[in-house]
Amino acid sequence: MMTSTEFRDELLALRADAARLLGTAGDEMLKASRERADAFAEQLKSTLDELGQNLEREEKQIERLVAERPIAALACAFAVGIVVGIALRRI
């Protein structure tokens, strides 16, 4: 039969082993999480760059259309303003 000192020593050894194993697993999980976060950040950066390029192209196209037809663009903006005003009044 184990004495209380032996039992306590055994529990302390078990606790140390568990802490070591959990620390190793935690470090591995942290490393994997950082790698996934870095990969996601790169993907997000690429997507945002592509979105920025697309918006820049669309902006140039809209500027060209407005420059070609300023009266039509002004009438369209006025009509959109009226529609938005009516919609906001109903809310």
User: The whole model's pTM is what?
Assistant: 0.51
- pLDDT, one tens digit per residue, over 28-40 is 777 888 888 889 8
For 39, the enclosing helix (H) or strand (E) is helix 4-68
Q: What is the pLDDT of residue 61?
A: 95
Domain ranges of the chain: 4-90
In this prediction, residue 1 has a pLDDT band, given cuts at 50, 70 and 90, of: low
In this prediction, residue 5 has a pLDDT band, given cuts at 50, 70 and 90, of: confident
| Higher-scoring residue by pLDDT: 52, 18 | 52
Cα–Cα distance, 74 to 57 (Å, whole number): 21
Structure-token match 């500027």, residue found: 63
- Say if residue 82's pLDDT is above 90: yes
